[in-house]
């Protein structure tokens, strides 16, 4: 199959799937999601993503209709049915189905899954960034389905022919529309602390892990737009883009002052990804 969808136990091509009109996602965006990539039918860092997904569920008081192990099994079974070496694996849960009412519903939550083809970004190609005032709510640590601010920011990036939009609250940089952002300065990685203003990015965690392996100091504290513009390197991380570096911010040249250190980080992350996929594939084949 070229793609595969799932809704509460029903499978099919995504374009042929139907969702009840009373699913609360249509009225309120009432749910959470997570996503990662797959190579050679191995889902990268699946346990970490499922753990974060269940944490988001807990923070919104949504009871997932299956256990972590059951969800993992469903995802692993689904990717075996989709063609392609590289796949995007996405899943979400909504609070349930019923008449429009703001207060919580009783009954089971709804589980959605989509498996679609994807292509990994070339880490050697630098990206263009723009910025936007961060007017989001105080729940950025929850991977909620309420993504209108990120949609607007992504559209701003598209109009300006940029890869991403960097959010900032006043002078403080938080994260991007669908990525985390960090900087390299004087041989040190600086990245926003994990609080309610950013998502606790799994790719960011592994960037920090790579820094630790290479002996690069890490400071988890807020940094400013001025620091962003003057950084030796600006690094954008997400689950499908492990470590991209910027060369342009709002039309001005940035970064390019720590290329060797950046390359070392990228090589560590690519090596980790390749080794994970090989080891997990071997376990599957046993």
Structure tokens at 13: 């091509």
Would you say 51 and 59 are in contact if contact means Cβ atoms under 8 Å apart? no
DSSP 8: T
Catalytic residue among 45, 75, 87, 175: 175
Give the residue from 264, 166, 168 showing the smallest Cα distance to 207.
264
d(CA 37, CA 28): 27
String of DSSP letters for 14-45: GGG----TTBHHHHH--EEEEEEEEETTEETT
Residue 139 is a catalytic residue: no
Active site residue 143: yes
Token readout for 102 is 């703001």
How long, in residues, is the chain? 286
Q: Which member of 71, 129, 143, 184 is catalytic?
A: 143
Catalytic residue among 87, 199, 228, 249: 199
Question: Looking at 7, 11, 33, 90, which residue is catalytic?
Answer: 33
CB 78 within 8 A of CB 9: no
List alpha helices for 64-122, DSSP H: 68-79
Tell me the two tokens of residue 44: 């990268």
**Catalytic (active site) residue 137:** no
| DSSP percent split of the chain into helix, strand, coil, nearest 5 | 30, 30, 40
Q: Residue 152 catalytic?
A: no
Residues labelled catalytic: 33, 143, 175, 199
């Amino acid at each position: 199959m070229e793609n595969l969808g799932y809704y509460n136990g029903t499978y099919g091509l995504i374009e042929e799937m139907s969702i009840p009109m009373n699913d609360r996602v249509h009225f309120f965006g009432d749910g959470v999601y997570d996503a990662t990539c797959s190579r050679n039918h191995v889902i990268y860092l699946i346990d970490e993503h499922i753990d974060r997904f269940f944490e988001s569920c807990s923070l919104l008081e949504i009871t997932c209709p299956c256990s972590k192990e059951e969800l993992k099994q469903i995802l692993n079974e689904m990717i075996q049915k989709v063609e392609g070496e590289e796949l995007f694996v996405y899943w979400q849960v909504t609070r349930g189905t019923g008449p429009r009412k703001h207060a919580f519903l009783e009954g089971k939550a709804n589980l959605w899954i989509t498996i679609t083809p994807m292509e990994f970004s070339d880490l050697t190609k630098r990206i263009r960034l723009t910025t936007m005032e961060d007017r989001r709510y105080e729940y950025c640590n929850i991977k909620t389905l309420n993504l209108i601010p990120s949609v607007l920011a992504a559209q701003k990036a598209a109009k300006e022919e940029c890869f991403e939009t960097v959010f900032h609250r006043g002078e403080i940089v938080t994260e991007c529309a669908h990525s985390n952002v960090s900087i390299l300065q004087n041989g040190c990685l600086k990245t926003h602390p994990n609080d309610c203003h950013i998502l606790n990015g799994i790719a960011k965690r592994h960037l920090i892990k790579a820094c630790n392996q290479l002996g690069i100091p890490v400071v988890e504290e807020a940094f400013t737009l001025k620091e962003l513009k003057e950084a030796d390197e600006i690094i954008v991380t997400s689950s499908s883009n492990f470590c991209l570096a910027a060369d342009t911010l709002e039309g001005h040249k940035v970064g390019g002052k720590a290329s060797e250190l950046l390359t070392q980080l990228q090589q560590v992350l690519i090596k980790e990804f390749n080794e994970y996929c090989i080891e997990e594939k071997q376990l599957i084949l046993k």
